[in-house]
Amino acid sequence: MERAAVFDVDGTLADTNHLHVVTWWEAFRQAGHEVPMHAVHRAVGLPSTDLIAHLLGEDRDTGEDDGISAAHKTLYAQYFDRLPALPGAGDLLRGLAGDGWKVVLATSAGGAELGALRRALDADEAITATASADDVEAGKPSPEPVQQALELAGVPAERAVFVGDTVWDMAAGSRAGVTCVGVLCGGVPRADLVDAGAGEVYDDPADLLRRLAESPLGRNGGSVG
């Protein structure tokens, strides 16, 4: 039976969470809002509108949302040519694909941003499909991105593992009924990931690759190295 390894990208495969923190912080500052960076960091992984609502509240002037989001996109785009993949990310994806897994990305990134992330990973040959922000109506913590990834892979939830770095990832995966694996490289504490649904937690893609045989990705049908 086929298996799906579904991955978040920002903070999971690419070392980009803190770039998002700084560029969102600056976008809010330009709009006249003082939002602490630690609060921004906790919200990274939400879709843009949800992130703004989470940080400014539902009673905010929603007429500012598009401008704040556009400012973040412009500021973040300056890094597109040098986004860093996390250690072991490409090798992990290629190894899983070689071992028969369908590798699918489930990310809130879309368009040029997603293209820049895929160039950074340099593992396109291993990626079966991508469920991006362009393909779903609701982002994480809604299960829709993970469900879309499973549909693209043609694999049921019980034959899938979802790897992510935020509580929003773990909530989305849990609601979709898949096995959830957390990584610490996005900066979220282990306890928070476990509380949100992570069955197991690893340091980063390289750590997961080293310990793959004992992980859900190894126990669910082979291992790579």
**pLDDT single digits (tens) 35-61:** 999 999 999 999 999 999 999 999 999
Give the pLDDT confidence of 59-106 residue by residue, as tens digits: 999 999 999 999 999 999 999 999 999 999 999 999 999 999 999 999
By the 8 A CB rule, do 4 and 37 touch? no
Domains of the chain, by residue range, sit at 3-16+83-219, 17-78
Q: Which fold has domain 3-16+83-219?
A: Rossmann fold (3.40.50)
pLDDT tens-digit series, residues 2-35: 999 999 999 999 999 999 999 999 999 999 999 9
**pLDDT value for 220:** 55
* pLDDT value of residue 135: 81
Q: Does residue 223 surpass a pLDDT of 80?
A: no
pLDDT at residue 195 is higher than 80: yes
Residues 6+ apart with CB under 8 A from 131: 104, 105, 106, 107, 145, 146, 148, 149, 152
Is there a shared CATH topology between the 3-16+83-219 domain and the 17-78 domain? no
Q: Looking at the domain that runs over 17-78, which CATH code has it been given?
A: 1.10.150
